[in-house]
Amino acid sequence: MFIKNPKFEISAVGPNQYPTLGIPEIVLVGKSNVGKSSFINTMIHRKKLARTSSEPGKTRQINFYNMDNLFYFVDLPGYGYSKMSKKEQEQVGKFIEQYLFSRKEISLIVFLIDIRHEPTQNDKLMYHYIISSGLPCLILANKADKIAKTKVLDTVKTLQKQLNPLGDLTTLPFSSERKIYEDDVWKFIEHYI
Ligand SMILES: Nc1nc2c(ncn2[C@@H]2O[C@H](COP(=O)(O)OP(=O)(O)O)[C@@H](O)[C@H]2O)c(=O)[nH]1
Ligand SMILES: [Mg+2]
């Protein structure tokens, strides 16, 4: 899919600011720094549309990126940001939960984990949120460029066993550096739009 005119639309701090177009939302979730904003930029071939650094002061905003009025990429705050207090982390968790459980427009969750590490406790918690929400989900093992090409597929399988033992959620490798996994991900996203 080629997006002609991707646009940042709004940083929402609450439901009254969520867009009202009613088009599908493809939502990025994952721990802080896993590559959610980079994912959006990579998919649309823009370097800086989505801001790609953790800004602790902006952790309670949900960023909506309008893709040619066809769908939104929604960049959720990352969890597990180490410089945040426990209380702040809990607030972020509630904020994410509120959006995931109430927003009717969500068509697909793109759940990013780091290919180099076992899923964290927070990743597992997020997995259970997603399962209980009943929403479709694509798991991406990101930063695949950080391990040898020959190990990518086996590592993805191992991670899937750890996070999704039933093996019912599609789990693919991804890398914003090594741009060879985009097509598979676009196919998956298009299906849900
Ligand atoms: N090597 C590598 N680095 C990545 C990849 N994706 C993101 N990064 C880097 O990881 C850092 C955090 O990325 P960002 O997109 O801001 O993560 P976010 O907090 O989840 O939105 C940045 O320095 C990115 O350049 C990837 O696929 N491979
Ligand atoms: Mg980000």
CA distance 64 to 132: 24
With respect to residue 36, please indicate whether it lies within any of the assigned structural domains. yes
> pLDDT (tens digit, 9 = 90+) per residue, 135-182?
999 999 999 999 999 999 999 999 999 999 999 999 999 999 998 899
1 found inside a domain? no
Write down the pLDDT at residue 96: 86
- pLDDT the model gives residue 142: 98
Asked if 67 and 49 count as a contact pair (C-beta separation under 8 A), the reply is: no
With residues binned 3-state (H G I as helix, E B as strand, rest as coil), the percentages for the chain, rounded to 5, are: 40, 25, 40
Q: How far apart are the CA of 175 and the centre of ligand 1, in A?
A: 9
The reply to whether 123 falls in a domain is: yes
In the chain, what percentage of residues exceed pLDDT 70? 96
pLDDT at 85: 82
Q: Is residue 167 a part of any domain in this protein?
A: yes
Residue with the smallest CA separation from ligand 1 atom 14 is 35
Q: Is the pLDDT of residue 82 over 60?
A: yes
Structure tokens at 77: 């705050």
pLDDT above 90 coverage of the chain, percent = 76
Residues with CB under 6 A from ligand 1: 30, 32-38, 52-54, 78, 142-143, 145-146, 175-177
pLDDT(57) > 70:
no
> What is the domain extent for residue 84?
6-192
Question: How many Å lie between the centroid of ligand 2 and the Cα of residue 29?
Answer: 10
With a cut of 80, say whether residue 78 has pLDDT above it.
yes
Average pLDDT over residues 7-26: 95
Q: Give the CATH number for residue 34.
A: 3.40.50.300
Q: Give me the pLDDT at residue 53, please.
A: 60
The closest-lying atom of ligand 1 relative to the alpha carbon of residue 144 is 27
Residue 32 lies in a domain: yes
| Residue nearest atom 3 in ligand 1 by C-alpha distance | 143
Q: DSSP for 97-164, please give it.
A: HHHHHH-TTEEEEEEEEETTSPPPHHHHHHHHHHHHHT--EEEEEE-GGGS-GGGHHHHHHHHHHHH-
Mean pLDDT on 66-87: 88
- Average pLDDT, rounded, for the chain: 92
Note whether residue 157 is domain-resident: yes
Residue from 8, 11, 33, 152 to probe ligand 1 pocket by mutation (most atoms less than 8 Å from CB): 33
As for how many domains the chain has, the answer is 1
